[in-house]
Amino acid sequence: MKITFPDGTNKEFKKGTHAYEIASSISSSLAKKSIYAIVNGKPYDLYRPIEEDATIELKTKEDSFDVLNHSCSHLLASAVKKLYPQAMFGVGPSIEEGFYYDIQPGEGIKFTETDLAAIEKEMKHIASQDLPFKRIETTKEEALELFKNDKYKQEIIRDLEDGVTITLYQHGDYVDLCRGPHVPSTKFLKNFKLTNVSGAYWRGDSKNEQLQRIYGVCFFEEKELQEHLQHLEERAKRDHRKLGKELELFMISEYGPGFPFWLPKGMVLRKTLENYWYKVHTRENYQFIQTPIMLNRTLWEISGHWENYRENMYTSKIDDQDFAIKPMNCPGGLLVYKNSIHSYKDLPIRLGELGLVHRHEASGALNGLFRVRNFTQDDAHIFLREDQIVSEVSSLIRLYDEVYSTFNLSYHIELSTRPENKYIGKLETWNIAEEALANACKSAGKDFKVNPGDGAFYGPKLDFKLRDSMNRIWQCGTIQLDMNLPERFDITYVGSDGQLKRPVMLHRALFGSIERFIGILTEHFGGAFPVWLAPVQVKIIPVHVKNHQEYVEKIYEKLRELDIRPEMDLRDEKLSYKIRDAQTKKIPYQLVVGDNEVEHQQLSVRKYGSTETKQLSVDEFICQIMDEIKTLKYK
C-alpha cells in the first residue's frame, strides 16, 4: 500500500503496517516521540493497522494533550471500578484543561477529598503496569450485552444506529465504550492530578439524575503538571467571586439566583467598559439600537427559538397572548432592519446593541458572573452583500485584535465548518461561506485552526479563543455567518438591477457578554484593573486628618473636575493601616499627604504593586495619570 506524507512524498508499505512502524522507517527518534496519527483525515492509534493507501500525519506530544487526557479519563474510570465495583459510568471526555468523568459510584456514596486521594493512588498503580490500550470492534448487540449492568452505557449504545460498528478500548481488565484514539499504554499517564468533584446531570439535562463529575488533568512531563498546579493555586486567589466581594463590585442575592446585582464600584467598572465599547464601535460606523426585552410568541416561532429553545426561555401572558423575555437579541435586530427599505448602496448596515437577555440556566450550573440567568450581550448584526463578506470579516478581525490587545489578552481563531448531517442551505452556499471566512482571516494576516463539522446548523463561524494571564482559554468573541434567519424573516435589499435580493447576515459579539467578560478581566488582572478601567483610580490619604484634610479635599476636587475617580480616606486610623487597605483594594494610585506635601504643594505618589514612592507636583501627577487613561495602558 502507498502511504503519503504531509510534504507530498510517498512510500510503499506492507498492508496492515501501523503508524509506529511507519514512523520508525523515518527515524527512531520520531517513532519515540509519536503518540497517535491522522490517517486519511481520521485519528488512529499508533498501533492500529492501516489496510489501504492513505495519507498520514504523525502526532507527537506537542499535539496530543487531548488524547493524553482522554486516556487518563479511562485510567480514572478503571481505578474507580476497582474501588467501587458497583459503579456505573456516563461519559469521560477530554476538555480544554484536562478531563472529567461522570460517575454513579453506588447508592448513597458521595466522593470526598479523601476518596479522590485513594482513587489517585489506584490510578498510579494501574499506570505503573504499562498496560496497552487495545482497540476492539464489536456489534451493537454485543456491546449491549457487555454493558448490561451499566444503564448509562446502555442508553448511549441504544442511541447508535443499528448495524454500526462500535469500538471499545481495553487496558488490563477494564473495558470502556470509546471512539479513541488513545496513547499507546498507561505508562504515559504518570503525571496527573484529580482536581475536584462536583455534581452533573446525566446528559446535561436537569430532568435526569445527578451523577458525580470528577475532574483531573494529565501532562506528559512532571514539570508541566507542577506549573499547572501552581496556576490553579493562583486562580483560587483570583476567583472573581471572592474579588467581587472584596472589591465591592457585585453581589448575588438568594432572592435572585443567577441574577447579579451591580454595586456602585462595579457599576463604574461596567459603565467604563460600555463607554469604551460605544467609542470604538462609533468609530467603526456602527449604528446603535435598543430592542424590547419581551416580545410576542409569534416572533419566537418565526426565529425558531420557540421550537428549539423554549425550555430555556422565561414566558408570560399579556392580553391572553404568549410572550417571552428574549434569550437572544437577533430577532429584534431583524425587525429593525425590516422597518425600512434598503438599497445595495446602503450595505453593509451595522446595528450594535448592548442587549439584556435572560436564559433559564440550571441552578447547579450557576457560577458567579461566568454563568448567570440574565446578562448583556455586546451584540451586533451586520447586513451585507455576499461580495462584502471578506472585507467586512477582515475588518472585524482587526477590531477584535485591537480590543483584545487593549486588555493584554492573546487569542487564536478557530473556523467551525458545516455539520456533517444537521444543517440548512445548499452545499454550494456553505462552501462559499466557509471559503469567505477563511479568506478573511488570511486577508487580516491571521492564522486559524479548522474545527470540521462544528459550525452552527445555520452557518459557519469564527470563534476567538482568548488566553488570560493564568494560561486559561476563554471562548468570548464570535463571528457567525447566518443563512437561516434572513430566509425565515424574508429580509431583502434592492439590488443594482432593481430586483429584491437576500442580504447575508453576520452575528458578532466581541466580549461575549459584559458580565462574563468582567469576570474574566477580574481574574486576568487579579482585581488590579488598569488605571483607565479601575472603579477607584486614586486614593488620597492624609497623614493627619485634622492637619491635612483641607489640602486633601483640594486635590480631590481637582481630580474630580478632570473626570478622574478619586477617594479620600479621612478615617481616624493609623497611616500604615490606610495604606495597606488601599493596597488590599488594589487601587492603582495612593497619594499620601503630610506636612512636606502641603508645604511644597506636592504629592507622595505610590503605584499599586510597587514599593517605590515618588514626589511629584500635582500637575506632574495629573499629566501622568491622564496619559495612562487616554492611552488605555494596562500596566
List residues with catalytic annotation: 330, 359, 377, 379, 381, 461, 507
Which of 509, 512, 508 minimizes the C-alpha distance to 520? 512
Contacts of 111 (CB under 8 A, 6+ apart): 103, 105, 197, 212, 214
b/e per residue 274-294 (b: at least 16 CB within 10 A):
eebbeeebeeeebeebebeee
CA distance 141 to 148: 10
Q: Which three cell numbers stand for residue 226?
A: 507542577
CA distance 213 to 617: 58
Strands 613-617 and 94-95: unpaired
The position carrying cell 452575528 is: 507
CA distance 552 to 560: 12
b/e per residue 84-93 (b: at least 16 CB within 10 A):
beebbbbbbe
Q: Note whether 590 and 610 are within 8 A (CB).
A: no
Q: Which three cell numbers stand for residue 306?
A: 420557540
CA distance 384 to 530: 37
Q: What is the DSSP string of 535-585?
A: SS-EEEEESSHHHHHHHHHHHHHHHHHTT--EEE---SS-HHHHHHHHHHT
Which of 275, 285, 513, 503 minimizes the C-alpha distance to 379? 513
CA distance 595 to 604: 11
Q: How far is CA 328 from CA 363, 380, 428, in A?
A: 20, 11, 29
437 exposure class (CB count in 10 Å sphere: 0-12, 13-18, 19+): buried
The CA-based angle 213-219-222, given to 5 degrees, is 120
Secondary structure class of 40 (helix, strand, coil): coil
CA distance 135 to 55: 21
Distance linking the first and last C-alpha atoms of the chain: 59
54 sits in the region (left: phi over 0; alpha: psi -120 to 50; else beta) called beta
| Cis check: omega of the bond before 348, within 30 degrees of 0 | yes
Q: What's the per-residue H, E or C state across 196-261?
A: EEEEEEHHHCCCCCEEEEEEEEEECCHHHHHHHHHHHHHHHHCCHHHHHHHCCCEECCCCCCCCCE
How many CB atoms sit inside 10 A of residue 257's CB?
12
Strands 287-288 and 349-358: parallel
Contacts of 468 (CB under 8 A, 6+ apart): 409, 474, 520, 523, 524
CA distance 577 to 593: 15
